[in-house]
Amino acid sequence: MTTIVNNPVPSSDEGGGGSGFLVGVLLLIVFVGVLLYFGIPVIKNMGPIQVKIPDTQVVLPDKVDVNITPAK
């Protein structure tokens, strides 16, 4: 007697792609939410950046002679 083996047709794995996309979008939304929840108060409490640059000191004389005598 002859034995016949019917192999099933290989199925393509198309069903799992949508759930992976959904999980990725949900993780992205959660990450952005946590970033905003903790990031905005930190940004609000930051003061301006303070850079200490020494003041420039310019010495000006009390009297400036602007009379110019022409050369002969």
Q: How does pLDDT run across 13-39, given as a tens digit for each residue? A: 665 567 888 999 999 999 999 999 999
Please tell me the pTM assigned to this model.
Answer: 0.44
Q: What is the pLDDT of residue 56?
A: 87
**Residue scoring higher pLDDT (14 or 58):** 58
Position 11: which residue type? S
Mean pLDDT of the chain, nearest integer:
85
How far is the CA of 54 from the CAs of 29, 50, 51, 59, in angstroms?
A: 47, 12, 10, 16
- Dist CA 21 CA 14 (whole Å): 12
Q: What is the pLDDT of residue 65?
A: 80
In a domain, 28, yes or no: yes
Domain count along the chain: 1
- Dist CA 49 CA 43 (whole Å): 12
Please give the structure tokens belonging to residue 14. 């198309």
Domain with 27 in it: 21-46
In a domain, 67, yes or no: no
In a domain, 7, yes or no: no
In a domain, 15, yes or no: no
Q: What is the pLDDT of residue 15?
A: 58
